[in-house]
Structure 1
Amino acid sequence: MRKIFPSTLSTRIAGGAVVLALVAAGAVPTLGIAQDLAGPLAAPAGAAGPWACEVPPFAAGPGPAIDPAAARLIAGMLLSAQETALGIRTDQMDAWRGYTTALIALLPSGERLGRWTDEKKRAEAQAFDLAQDIAGAAIERAEKARALQDAVSKLKTVLTPEQMSMAKQMQEKLVERIVRFVQWRRGEGSGVPL
């Protein structure tokens, strides 16, 4: 039971950071782990087969994307918890805020996708607009990634050795959980993925 429900704050923060890392990487929407509620689960009880308590099989296709506003809220909560766990002091706050702002800015906003999911806007698109939007998004993302690198460099200069050690431990837990999740998705792992 202890493996499934970790009890230390740094382990919980690392677990939450897995979600943040997957959202930042855009992996969650492409993994097909989300499911539309209007899909098979909303089917009548008879569709479940001879046993009314059986759930229809999970749809393997891609599900709906995660709400960008919710992803930013979750990231903010996790970063706030990490700030507390690391013991960020007032003299470190500017560097910390620069880091958190740059990290949250790197998360997908969904604005560019809106143009292509809205039928009217999609009909108004000109030739090669999709290619230009993809290139624009990549350039914007690269600029945001560079800003995050700069923020991390500044943060490292103001943290104490103890805080750096704690951050390293959190990172190790995060990497372990990501590896377990990837192995689980490939069918190589067993049990609870996170």
Structure 2
Amino acid sequence: MRRLFQLHAGRRIAAAVIAGGALLHPATGRAQPLDGGIAIEPYVCGPAPEIDIDDGALMPDPLVARLIAGALLSAQETALGIRPDQLTAWRDYTGALIAMIPSGERAARWKQRATREAAGAFDLAGDVAAAAIERAEAAKRLQAAIVALKTALTPEQLRAAQQIQARLVERLIGFLEWRHGAGADGHAL
């Protein structure tokens, strides 16, 4: 019975993964024309829209940014070999770091015409100030979490974290140089 359940559980998991993939895939679930033809949306055949790199189009939305940060931190946790007795300090650090990524909630208020029109005098400045205060508080929590994490990690783990950080910084610098049109040597392309 146990083996049978495992077999059925495996099939259920596979079916759930396939169904989830089908829901996420943009071409699945679209209605096809009744004449048997293929439904083609206008943007598929038209020219690709131009992307202005300076308009922020390459930056992920806040939810995606948080998910990416979580995935990278999970990989770093594995690479550092975080032990069970270090998990509390690690979780405090990762939570504080992810909290530093803007959520976009304050900007959402200003994206809708009705809420913009209903805004009072100096509401925008008030929102900017409130966001800065929230980020400052989050930064203080991150600093405290870093101090606690450094005391919890072994010297080997700290060296590994330093190496990971060095690689990350090199990649970020390369990305920023690429984004601003500079080659690997720092000169314009």
Q: Same fold (TM over 0.5)?
A: yes
Q: Which residue of 1 aligns with 2:145?
A: 151
Distance 1:161 1:147 in 2: 23
Percent sequence identity is 56
Distance 1:59 1:43 in 2: 20
In the TM superposition, residue 127 of structure 1 has moved relative to its aligned partner by 0.6
User: Pairwise CA RMSD of aligned residues?
Assistant: 2.3
Task: List structure 1 runs of 4+ shifted beyond 3 angstroms.
Answer: 55-61
Gaps of 5+ in 2: 1-41
Letter in 1 for 2:72: L
Letter in 2 for 1:183: E
Matches within 5 A, 1:1-194: 42=43, 44-45=45-46, 48=47, 57-60=50-53, 62-64=55-57, 66-190=60-184
Secondary structure at the aligned position of 1:84 is classed as helix
In the TM superposition, residue 185 of structure 1 has moved relative to its aligned partner by 2.2
In the TM superposition, residue 59 of structure 1 has moved relative to its aligned partner by 3.9
Larger radius of gyration: 2
8 Å Cα contact 2:92-2:145 kept in structure 1:
yes
Bigger RCO (CA 8 Å, 6+ sep): 1
Gaps of 5+ in 1: 1-40, 49-54
How many residues are aligned here? 143
Q: Which moved more, 1:60-69 or 1:125-134?
A: 60-69
The TM-score, its normalising length taken from structure 1, stands at 0.67
**For the structure 1 residues 80 and 43, does the alpha-carbon distance in structure 2 shift closer, same or farther, using more than 3 Å as the test?**
closer
Secondary structure at the aligned position of 2:96 is classed as helix
